[in-house]
């Protein structure tokens, strides 16, 4: 199956989005430390300060050199600046803003020797990435065709004949790092220091080399060598463990769900929820996974009923056995990384709004979901089901860029779709209710084909999901469609990626497929 690589990170459009992602990751794994990689560039210090405030644990400053042979030539040649420049600016800005001790700095991008490591430490880094040199130690000859499955020395290939040529051993890499460490110790000894941590941020130990009177040295490196003073004694990370994030509603949920963890007891919990409650259900999913595994519970073993407005990332990474019901609405990232759980969002009985004419969930819903179900009695925002690879969903309208980069699962949209629908979609299937015949104006024609339903098998798949939707949400629109199904089914489009046509359990009528 074709995968669009690398796709944009459609869950990150601002520093607040990145902070939310870091929060989600720390909820699903209570011990994980989060690293954020930034390409060295002018102005990186301001970005790094935002990343540090977003509670990242490590910031990796990646230089302009390096990259695998699968990297685009444009990225290898033109993206980024030297790591020395990016690292120096980052360390200085973090120090001046009194953020340096809260985050670990790491750098890579062409570090090969112990001298490089010492310079990186003096410019502010505590950790160092050595990738290309490690590959060369294992036998890489830099052919730069890692993505073509033809690596002649067997490092980056699945071809058994080529893999047989691989001569790398762990001892070769150990040898490389031993020599780098030995050179670092020698340089530190010459300078009179015992450990790397003593010279972290000591840019005053560096000086620009003068090449003599015959050369015009008009390059001023003083901005790199300036030692920032943030009013603190230390200029390195002092946090033990990780930067913790505040608890959400899950802390109470886990306490109330103790019978689930001790006796596998089926239960139902009920809470009021506000938009400040983020990632509701995510920490509960982490505890369930640790106790019973990803699929150790039967569906709907624990049902959590929420009333109000759920904050960002409702049900992120929810696993099988969990069911989240929201009587109200929810913000962005509903079902991010959904992993088998069920999420139902529906308006309260007293709501005067017409569900299908109003948004009930936000943007970037089901981002990267792998399994599970979502039923929303109302429309979704933009980037619905981006990178969905296995979840089934029913909503009553979506904004722009719906089902983008989708590789699996089924999306049923009982209403209009925005522009650029199904862009880069290479797997899964979408059903769109379109009595106004506007679908063809909004679909991206590059990777998908579409037709009206003409096979009982696919009609059965669609009807089953609509029936589930009505049963879960009491959707008035869904009920109307089912009441007049024989007539309304004619208004559905079926959109399928072109490359999936030969792999479907029931073939489509190719003659009726609308091609670009």
pLDDT at position 510 is 56
Q: Quick check: 108 and 60 in contact, CB under 8 A?
A: yes
User: 72-93 burial, b for 16+ CB within 10 Å, e for fewer?
Assistant: eeeebeeebbebbbbbbbbbbb
218 C-beta neighbours (distance < 10 Å), count: 5
Of 489, 359, 505, which is closest to residue 429 (Cα–Cα)?
Answer: 505
- Strand ranges, E, within 311-382: 322-330, 339-346, 371-376
pLDDT at position 511 is 39
Burial of 491 from C-beta contacts in 10 A (0-12 / 13-18 / 19+): middle
Of 506, 466, 462, 507, which is closest to residue 483 (Cα–Cα)?
Answer: 466
Residue 355 CA to residue 478 CA, distance in Å, equals 11
Q: Per the structure block, which two tokens stand in for 435? A: 């009595």
Question: Terminus-to-terminus CA distance in the chain, angstroms?
Answer: 20
Which domains, ranges and CATH numbers included, belong to the chain? 33-207 (3.20.20.70), 250-512 (2.160.20.60)
| Residue 137 backbone dihedrals phi, psi, to 5 degrees | -65, -30
How far from the centroid of its chain's Cα atoms is residue 247's Cα? 21
450-452-456-457 Cα dihedral, nearest 10 degrees: 20
Kind and range of the H or E element at 484? none
Q: Quick check: 202 and 122 in contact, CB under 8 A?
A: yes
pLDDT at position 507 is 80
Considering Cα of 137, then 143, then 148, then 153, what sign does the dihedral take? negative
User: pLDDT tens per residue, the chain (516 residues)?
Assistant: 787 766 678 889 999 999 999 999 999 999 999 999 999 999 999 999 999 999 999 999 999 887 777 777 787 788 899 999 999 999 999 999 999 999 999 999 989 999 999 999 999 999 999 998 999 999 999 888 888 899 999 998 999 999 999 999 999 999 999 999 999 999 999 999 999 999 999 999 999 887 777 777 778 888 899 898 877 778 899 999 999 999 999 999 999 999 999 999 999 999 999 999 999 999 999 999 999 999 999 999 999 999 999 999 999 999 999 999 999 999 999 999 999 999 999 999 999 999 999 999 999 999 999 999 999 999 999 999 999 999 999 999 999 999 999 999 999 999 999 999 999 999 999 999 999 999 999 999 999 999 999 899 999 999 999 999 999 999 999 999 999 999 999 999 999 999 999 888 888 875 344 444
Q: Quick check: 339 and 288 in contact, CB under 8 A?
A: no
pLDDT at position 29 is 95
Burial of 26 from C-beta contacts in 10 A (0-12 / 13-18 / 19+): buried
pLDDT at position 68 is 73
Q: Quick check: 18 and 12 in contact, CB under 8 A?
A: yes
Residue 165 CA to residue 152 CA, distance in Å, equals 8
How far from the centroid of its chain's Cα atoms is residue 502's Cα? 30
The CA angle 506-482-390, to the nearest 5 degrees, is 45
Q: Per the structure block, which two tokens stand in for 203? A: 């840019």
Q: Per the structure block, which two tokens stand in for 443? A: 């679909």
């Amino acid at each position: 199956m074709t995968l669009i690589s690398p796709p944009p990170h459609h869950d990150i459009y601002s520093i607040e989005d990145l902070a939310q992602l870091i929060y989600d990751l720390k909820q699903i794994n209570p011990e994980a430390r989060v690293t954020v990689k930034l390409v060295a560039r002018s102005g990186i210090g301001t970005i790094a300060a935002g990343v540090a405030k977003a509670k990242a644990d490590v910031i990796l400053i990646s230089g302009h050199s390096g990259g695998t042979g699968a990297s685009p030539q444009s990225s290898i040649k033109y993206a980024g600046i030297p790591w020395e420049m990016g690292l120096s600016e980052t360390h200085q800005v973090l120090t001046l803003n009194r953020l340096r001790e809260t985050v670990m700095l790491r750098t890579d991008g062409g570090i090969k020797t112990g001298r490089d490591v010492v310079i990186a430490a003096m410019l502010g880094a505590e950790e160092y990435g050595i990738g290309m040199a490690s590959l060369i130690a294992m036998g890489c000859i830099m052919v730069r065709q890692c993505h073509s499955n033809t690596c002649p020395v067997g490092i980056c290939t699945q071809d058994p004949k080529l893999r047989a040529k691989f001569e790398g051993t762990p001892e070769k890499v150990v040898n490389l790092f031993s020599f780098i460490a030995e050179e670092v110790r020698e340089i530190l000894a010459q300078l009179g220091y015992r450990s790397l941590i003593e010279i972290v941020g000591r840019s005053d130990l560096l000086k620009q080399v003068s090449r003599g009177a015959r050369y015009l040295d008009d390059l001023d490196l003083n901005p790199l060598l300036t030692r920032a003073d943030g009013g603190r004694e230390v200029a390195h990370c002092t946090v033990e463990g990780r930067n913790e994030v505040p608890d959400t509603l899950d802390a109470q949920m886990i306490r109330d769900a103790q019978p689930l963890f001790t006796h596998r007891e089926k239960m139902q919990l009920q809470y009021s929820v506000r938009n400040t409650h983020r990632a509701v259900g995510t920490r509960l999913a982490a505890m369930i996974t640790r106790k019973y595994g990803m699929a150790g519970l039967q569906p709907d073993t624990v049902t959590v009923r929420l009333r109000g407005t759920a904050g960002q990332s409702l049900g992120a990474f929810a696993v099988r056995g969990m069911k989240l019901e929201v009587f109200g609405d929810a913000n962005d990232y509903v079902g991010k990384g959904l992993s088998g759980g069920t999420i139902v969002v529906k308006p309260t009985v007293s709501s005067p709004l017409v569900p299908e004419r109003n948004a009930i969930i936000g943007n970037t819903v089901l981002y990267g979901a792998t399994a599970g179900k979502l039923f929303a009695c109302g429309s979704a925002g933009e980037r619905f089901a981006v990178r969905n690879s296995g979840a089934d969903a029913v909503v009553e309208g979506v904004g722009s860029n719906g089902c983008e980069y989708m590789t699996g699962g089924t999306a049923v949209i009982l209403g209009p779709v925005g522009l650029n629908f199904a862009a880069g979609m290479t797997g899964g299937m979408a059903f769109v209710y379109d009595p106004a015949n506007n679908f063809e104006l909004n679909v991206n024609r590059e990777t998908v084909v579409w037709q009206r339903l003409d096979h009982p098998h696919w009609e059965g798949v669609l009807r089953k999901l609509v029936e589930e939707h009505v049963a879960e949400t009491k959707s008035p629109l869904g009920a109307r469609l089912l009441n007049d199904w024989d007539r309304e089914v004619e208004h559905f489009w079926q959109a399928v990626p072109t490359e999936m046509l030969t792999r479907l359990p029931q073939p489509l009528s190719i003659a009726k497929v609308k091609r670009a």
